Amino acid sequence: WSLCLNRYFFCRLQWPRLGTWQMRPRRLGAFCPWGGHRMALCFLMAFSTAWLAVWRQTSLLHETIWTPETQSPSVPLESEHEEAPEPDALPPALDEEGEESKGAPEEEALVQEEVTPAAEVTSLPEEDKVPQHSALLGVYQELCRMGLHSPGAIRLAPAHVRDVVVKLYQSLVERPPPAPFHRERRVHLKEPNCKNPAWRHLLDGSRRKTPRVVIDVTTGMGGGPELDLLEIRLWEINASLSHLPEPPPVKDVYVVSESAYGLRGDKKPLHFSRQKERFKDFLPQIEHVLLDNCSKYFREVEKMRNVTSKSKKRGGTMFSAEGIQRACVLQTLIRRRPDLPDDALVIFSDLDEVPSAAAIQMLRVCTTNSAAKEGPWVQANYPMPYNLRVGCKDRPKSQLHMQGAFATMGFLRRKKTLALRYNIRHNLIVPSAGIHLTYTGSRADVDYKLLHHGESGQILATKATAHGKRLDFCKIDDETVFQMEQLLRDNPVSVARAWERKSSILHKEPQGDLRKCQVPWALLTHPERYPHFWGKASGAPHENVAHRSRSSCASFKFPFLL
């Protein structure tokens, strides 16, 4: 209506008053930009829209005042347990910068489903008496008992209900690894070639006298696959100086941050604090940051917990806490560690964007040129959307995951902050910088990750077959859970991107050379410790895969690729 009235006022009232053509501004043209036929079409569309809105409002009013007594006797009452129709799919979610996703398998918003009203959530257990299940079926059964019937119901549930849902997953995401870690399998890099042509836009060809100190900064320590990801990440960075016969005098710093709340304001355990023993080899070098001590972040969490609008809970407006969280971590690092040298190499990325040991080696051992300055340099990560059975193939630059940054500590001190994503046209790119592991881990792990994610806030679609319907939690049994977990391993796109209704069955074994895709050495040599990353069921035999990985890594030489 505003557009139509504006055009009408301009064309019918202002245009004649401009006088002759010479007096009119040239940008207006020689005729009224909106002729009579366009004006008529505009008013017709506006009138139709207004009429439909009035009709829809009238229909909603009739639905609101409907009572069983007014229903015709010939129409039976709808059953309370009748299966709800399959919900419509949401459009593609927006990424952190507000740009529309172009199909990259990011952690996007899943299918929106009808929410069970808060009044129907029954039998909510007390916070200190939430049952801890050893299997995913127990979680689904408890959700059914609470009165929740679909992933969409979890997404739009109030904060106190979501707190209980998060608690149900605790024992599943903190489970111990199924096999021990073998330090003796660590890869030994070859001597770096500082004159490598692929790096000449960053390096001047000479070597530094002393390697840089590395400061690894991640945010949002959740649980489940993130405990595995943190372990894999720490060992990968640790291998960046494996070419040296003796350990260097420099001590790297690993900044691990976590909060008692997720990115949607849900209460959660401090998983790293509860699992510190698993990271005992790195504890002296870990700078632990408790985000709840940042007052601005805590206020934002309280604000999210009080959100009642369903449109806001669907995502898109739940990202403010992420930016505040990252700023808090960086400012805490600056304040706590004034002893760190200005030329120290800062790695800033999400936990699932694991940097490559070979790329870190080049940046900390070789000298950067004048064009590189002090950063920031963009990480070009290989996208691994699901488990490693996706395989490895050459991808053009446009398909790489350009997120995460390298910079110096001096740059961070001056700017006070860093961004996760920079314009690749104005900033230099680090080739083969790492890998982005998205929907990795078990089904419980991915459920837990999506629960805390700003774009999602719910769990994976409850599908047992690629083209099947989403199941009510109350209709899931032991056999169905087995089929759901198998579907995530064999055909993950049909579950993780269920709203697209796609299907693509993966190969039984990874295709291509995984080393060329910057798969971390700890993951490459420990398929028995991270079976879900390999697309295998926990407890399944891995002897052949493990043997192949160890033998292939015996002479592992991290090729430098564009």
What is the chain's pLDDT, residue by residue, as a tens digit (562 residues)?
A: 555 555 555 555 444 444 433 333 444 334 455 556 666 776 777 777 777 766 655 444 333 333 333 333 333 333 333 333 333 333 333 333 333 334 333 333 333 343 344 335 555 665 555 665 678 999 999 999 999 999 989 988 999 999 999 999 998 998 899 999 999 999 999 999 999 999 999 999 999 999 999 999 998 676 668 999 999 999 999 999 999 888 777 789 999 999 999 888 899 999 999 999 999 999 999 999 999 999 998 888 888 888 777 666 555 556 678 888 899 999 999 999 999 999 999 999 999 999 999 999 999 999 999 999 999 999 999 999 999 999 999 999 999 999 999 999 999 999 999 999 999 999 999 999 999 999 999 999 999 999 887 678 889 999 999 999 999 999 999 999 999 999 999 999 999 999 999 999 999 999 999 999 999 999 999 999 999 999 998 755 444 444 444 444 433 333 333 3
pLDDT at position 91: 32
pTM of the model: 0.75
Residue 37 in contact with residue 72, Cβ under 8 Å?
no
Q: CA distances (Å), 543 to each of 183, 289, 522, 546, 549, in order?
A: 18, 39, 16, 5, 10
Q: CA distances (Å), 325 to each of 261, 320, 343, in order?
A: 11, 9, 25
Closest Cα to residue 110, out of 510, 497, 549, 533?
497
Both tokens of residue 400? 């790489």
CA–CA dist 104, 537 (Å, integer): 26
CA–CA dist 330, 301 (Å, integer): 19
pLDDT at position 103: 38
CA–CA dist 335, 25 (Å, integer): 57
Q: Which residue bears the tokens 């836009």? A: 201
pLDDT at position 255: 97
Beta bridge partners of 394: none
Cα atoms in the Cβ-side hemisphere of radius 13 Å centred on 294: 26
Q: CA distances (Å), 545 to each of 392, 403, 475, 541, in order?
A: 16, 31, 36, 9
pLDDT at position 264: 85
Beta bridge partners of 384: 437
Q: Which residues contact 118 (CB under 8 A, 6 or more apart)?
A: 157, 158, 161
Task: Count Cβ atoms within 10 A of the Cβ of residue 249 and give its class: 0-12 exposed, 13-18 middle, 19 or more buried.
Answer: exposed
DSSP assignment of 325-344 equals: HHHHHHHHHHHH-TTS-TTP
pLDDT at position 35: 57
Cα atoms in the Cβ-side hemisphere of radius 13 Å centred on 229: 31
Task: Count Cβ atoms within 10 A of the Cβ of residue 331 and give its class: 0-12 exposed, 13-18 middle, 19 or more buried.
Answer: middle
Residue 392 in contact with residue 514, Cβ under 8 Å?
yes
Q: What is the pLDDT of residues 194-212, one digit of tens each?
A: 999 999 999 999 999 999 9
pLDDT at position 13: 47
